[in-house]
Amino acid sequence: MNKDVIYIEPEDDITDIINKIEGSKEKIVALVPPKKASVLRSIVNIKLIAKSGANTKKTVVLVTTDPAILKLAAATKLPVTKDLQSAPAVPKIEAEGPEEMISKEELVKKVAKNGEEEVMAEAVEEVEKNEKTEKVDGKEDSESEAEKDSDADDAKGKKEKKKKEKVVGTSKNPLVRWVQEHKKLCISLCVALPILILVLVWALVIAPAATVTVGIRTTKNNFSENVTFTETLAEENTSEGKFFLQQKKIETEAKKTFVATGQKNVGERAKGNVVIIAYFVAKGSTNINAGATFTLGDLLYTADEDSSIAWDGKVTNCENSNETVTQTFKCKLSARVNVTANGPGTKYNIEASSTGWKTSVAGVVVYTDQAMAGGTDNMITVVQQSDIDNAIAELKDTESASANNNKERLFDEISDTSFIIEQSYTQSVGEPTSTPKVGEEVKEGEKATLSVVTTDSVYYIDNTKVEEFIKEKAKLAENYRIYSMDNPFIENFIKTDTGYAGKLKTSYVSGPKVTENDVLEIIKGKGLGTAQHDLKDIDGISSIKIDTSFPWVSSIPNDPNKITVILDVQE
């Protein structure tokens, strides 16, 4: 079977050795100590090694011929071999000298570091047994031969420590002996006494507190005064009831997308010319202005430029003569006028036509002897008015629910120190704007957008100045005060030639002037009965109730932070 050989270094302590044993992967672990290995000359350390092997289910073998280590191995039944080739066996040598003595404190430190609680308990019991033997016999055990080889300074330190422990244990002082005999009771008293002191300090110093509820007789009064408002700060005069008026506005843009349904032909317009015939019976002229209209059925054409037909009275200038039934001579003249179709489209491309024409030019005859041409069709989607009307209706349904939200948002944006005149609130809706506009193209796959800007506005004034005005007009006695006031409001807010006017209304509760500081100064540090008696001397106090934090509290604390004063205003 394979074994793991661990060579112990001179500087290794018991923890290092146990860690190497536990870290080994073999079932047999051979420990090879150096010469004069002090770490293996302690019965406690040998027991820890044996315990570690048992816990990890490994066979630990010491490779040594050191007599001192063999004695300890025999006491703990730990297998030993003289070299790595020989078979291990438990030594049969009886221990002649006492085992190494170490203090319980050192033992606890060593074993607690390795976590071996069971071994620690056994070792502590063994050390205590040795200590009792010392007290009975009155002498120390001789050191083993192995301990003599260890460092002289360490041995001297251990002896001095044992002597000190022995001196304490055999003290003739009765108090010391009583403490030694009643260690647990002394420890309990040492723990309980500070706790008792802390509890007493908390109960008598920290915990005491008081709540004093003072009832004050008051009356409720109504207030109503005419006031005016100005939008010029320099004209404000609050003592006369004239307040500086400020306005707050917010603009909210609502948008609605919609599908455009209009169609528009943006093709080319047809062009051509018409012949205009005019008849004259005397010198004169006929003017054809640019934009003059010529229609054939539902087709409309307009003149491109100004032109005219004139006769100077000479027959030779006439195209021909004509006599009516009244034998009145008329001169016939004609002119050709360039025209353009009123709209795009191929429908304006027509052949020459001598009949059916009408014109806005009076006293002339119109016909065409040439075809109109050049008109083309190109249909696009555009916004039409009905699209906008439908979008507006849908937008109103959506915005009606948010109208109140706009009002709340407007009021929230005004400082809490301001007095809002709710009657001045207005909401105005701007003209709807379409993008694109009516008649403009909406590209394929896109939608048009309708937007409407809503403006909410309200006037407000300085609330502090309003309260000062109310207190001034209330004309209370010097020893009276206003305890509470309902929210003031303006009634009949109207615009005048000089600004605005209205009626300021509210109600307030007034009574004798009693403050929390007045009550505190009277009661702090006094007994409960004395505090109640002194408070009754204050004018306007109708009732007094004092509640303490605990039943044993019989006086008001001196610390104002531990006193709560509640002014109960009773109408």
Residue 274: beta bridge partners? 337
- Same domain? For 330 and 437 the reply is no
- The answer, yes or no, to whether residue 291 has pLDDT greater than 90, is yes
- Same domain? For 104 and 9 the reply is yes
Last residue of a domain, one of 355, 377, 399: 377
Q: Is the pTM of this model over 0.85?
A: no
Write out pLDDT tens, residues 61-104. 888 888 888 888 888 888 898 888 888 888 875 544 444 444 44
Residue 214: beta bridge partners? 544, 567
Q: How confident is the model over 184-204, as a mean pLDDT?
A: 74
Q: Report DSSP letters for 244-274, one per residue.
A: E-EEEEEEEEEEEEE---EEEE--PEEEEEE
Q: Write the CB contacts of 133 (distance below 8 Å, at least 6 apart in sequence).
A: 141
List strand residue ranges (DSSP E) for 395-471, in order. Answer: 418-429, 433-435, 448-462
> pLDDT averaged over the chain?
80
- The answer, yes or no, to whether residue 136 has pLDDT greater than 60, is no
Cα 302 from Cα 304, distance rounded (Å): 6
Tell me if 396 is assigned to some domain: yes
- Same domain? For 346 and 388 the reply is no
Amino acid occupying residue 453: V
- The answer, yes or no, to whether residue 134 has pLDDT greater than 70, is no
Residue 229: beta bridge partners? 243, 500
- Same domain? For 255 and 401 the reply is yes
Give the burial class of 305: count Cβ atoms within 10 A of its Cβ; 0-12 exposed, 13-18 middle, 19 or more buried.
Answer: exposed
- Which pLDDT belongs to residue 94? 52
352 close to 369: Cβ distance less than 8 angstroms? yes
Tell me if 451 is assigned to some domain: yes
**Structure tokens that stand for 469 in this block:** 């005005």
- Which pLDDT belongs to residue 120? 44
Percent of the chain with pLDDT over 70: 80
**Structure tokens that stand for 245 in this block:** 């008026």
Q: How confident is the model over 299-314, as a mean pLDDT?
A: 92
Number of domains in the chain: 3
- Same domain? For 296 and 429 the reply is no
- The answer, yes or no, to whether residue 224 has pLDDT greater than 70, is yes
Amino acid occupying residue 406: N
- Which pLDDT belongs to residue 537? 74
- Same domain? For 370 and 392 the reply is no
- Same domain? For 273 and 255 the reply is no
Cα 70 from Cα 380, distance rounded (Å): 113
Domain with 117 in it: 3-121
Tell me if 80 is assigned to some domain: yes
Tell me if 29 is assigned to some domain: yes
- Which pLDDT belongs to residue 406? 84
- Which pLDDT belongs to residue 217? 81
Give the burial class of 31: count Cβ atoms within 10 A of its Cβ; 0-12 exposed, 13-18 middle, 19 or more buried.
Answer: buried
Cα 109 from Cα 181, distance rounded (Å): 25
N-to-C CA span, the chain: 102
Please report how the helices 117-137 and 152-169 are oriented relative to each other, as an axis angle in degrees rounded to 10.
Answer: 70
Tell me if 60 is assigned to some domain: yes
- Same domain? For 363 and 392 the reply is no
Last residue of a domain, one of 358, 377, 396: 377
**Structure tokens that stand for 377 in this block:** 């069709």
User: Which of the four pLDDT bands, split at 50, 70 and 90, describes residue 207?
Assistant: low
Cα 269 from Cα 291, distance rounded (Å): 15
Q: Which region among 9-23, 62-76, 135-149, 258-272 has the lowest average model confidence (pLDDT)?
A: 135-149
The values of phi and psi at residue 83, to 5°, are -155, 175
User: Which of the four pLDDT bands, split at 50, 70 and 90, describes residue 326?
Assistant: very low
**Structure tokens that stand for 36 in this block:** 């004069």
User: Which of the four pLDDT bands, split at 50, 70 and 90, describes residue 117?
Assistant: very low
- Same domain? For 253 and 386 the reply is yes
266 close to 344: Cβ distance less than 8 angstroms? yes
Last residue of a domain, one of 121, 137, 157: 121
- Same domain? For 360 and 389 the reply is no
- Same domain? For 404 and 360 the reply is no
Tell me if 241 is assigned to some domain: no
- Which pLDDT belongs to residue 359? 94
Tell me if 352 is assigned to some domain: yes
- Same domain? For 64 and 35 the reply is yes
Tell me if 499 is assigned to some domain: no
